[in-house]
Amino acid sequence: MIRIGLIGYGYWGPKLLRNFLAVPGAEVAMVVDLAAGQIDTLAQSHPRLLTALDPDALIADASIDAVVIATPVESHFELALAALKAGKHVWLEKPMAASPGQALALIEAAERHGRVLMVDHTTVYASETRALKELLAADELGRVLYYDSMRSSLGLVRSDANVIADLAVHDFALLDYLFSERPMSVSACGIGHFDGMPENIAYVTLHYSSGAIAHVNTSWVSPVRVRRVLIGGSRRMALWDDDASTGTLRVHEAGVDVSPMEAGPPSVLYRQGEAWMPPLDTAEALQVAARHFADCIRSGRTPVTDGRFGLRMVDLAEKATVSLRSNGTPVWLDGAGGAR
């Protein structure tokens, strides 16, 4: 039995608790939150759960095998490092750290102590993501031409991370997982409308050596919630609309063919066919991720979203923010542009 401790019972903590309580062969042994009110709320819904106000009590408990951390990002490094040094496996809410240097230090600590370090990039574990991966592997879409995403809602406005690190990072994770190459450069523009708070709107563009382009539109101040990803290929186009009433993922038999002519302008042919839906399972993405974490602890396998995956997301978010704060100046990415 894997005994798990959860640190942080705020916005994401209750979702993590619900899913880890359902993982076979695992049990939640303790929940910690610095706010007494949060612990009181938890005690009403789960009166048998052991609770505490001090994370040190959880980390020092030798009977706990793994620590799940869902706290503000500025506390991730200290908590995760202490847990790893105590010989515990660690699950970290994204972003995994406040800087690439902190992320790298956590990776090295996990390797030094032989512990599993997994970052909660939940979108990677969605059934739609797995279906897109299969479509791309089978060349169903053809050569990828573009990736276009919109993620907007009214909140959650955060003080510990900007909208790039909070929302655009979902798309960074999808692009990293789905595509066979990494971006050459990133540029971004955006703004923060509230004094003392990070940017709440951002538009991020990534360029690839293959000619593909990715654009990510993010906002915490939209009157409507939108979660939409469009991948355009030379053969077909795939639309993932998380708010669609019927079918979240559709493949469109649509495209544009351009043929050069001996004389005159090129010939342009538009293809418009039927849309179809790939089969999807009904497993909740966070439940898939929680089971994957437990399985990696048992088997010693490396998580799909391990520390190095999380480091790439932190590094890309930092470089996008550098571009944003430099009026959109492109930032070139180290070691990028080629096939993995």
Q: Is the pLDDT of residue 247 over 80?
A: no
Q: Rg of the chain over CA atoms, in angstroms?
A: 21
pLDDT tens readout for residues 259-304: 888 787 888 888 888 999 999 999 999 999 999 999 999 999 999 9
Mean pLDDT to the nearest integer, 155-159: 89
For 2-115, the fitting CATH number among 3.90.1150.10, 3.90.1200.10, 3.30.70.260, 3.40.50.720 is 3.40.50.720
CB contact set of 293 (below 8 Å; sequence gap of 6+)? 66, 89, 91, 116, 118, 303
Confirm if 58 and 323 have CB atoms less than 8 A apart. no
Give the residue carrying structure tokens 């005159």. 264
Residue 300 to residue 196: CA distance in whole angstroms? 43
More confident residue, 257 or 337: 257
CA-based torsion, 153, 154, 160, 162: positive or negative: positive
Give the Cβ contact number of residue 143 at 10 Å: 12
Q: Scanning the structure block, which residue is given the tokens 């391990």?
A: 306
**Region(s) of the chain under CATH 3.40.50.720:** 2-115
Q: Tokens 């042994």 — which residue? A: 29
CB 135 within 8 Å of CB 253: no
In this structure, which topology does domain 127-284+316-332 adopt according to CATH?
Dihydrodipicolinate Reductase; domain 2 (3.30.360)
pLDDT above 90: percentage of residues in the chain: 84
Q: 254: which strand partners?
A: 272
Q: Which tokens sit at 126?
A: 């969605």
pTM of the model: 0.93
* Interstrand relation of 89-93 and 249-259 (parallel, antiparallel or unpaired): unpaired
Amino acid identity at 76: H
In angstroms, the CA 270 to CA 276 distance is 18
Overall size of the chain counted in residues: 340
pLDDT in tens, 84-134: 999 999 999 999 999 999 999 999 999 999 999 999 999 999 999 999 999
Residues of the chain with CATH 3.30.360.10: 127-284+316-332
Instruction: Give the rounded distance of the alpha carbon of 80 from its chain centre.
Output: 18
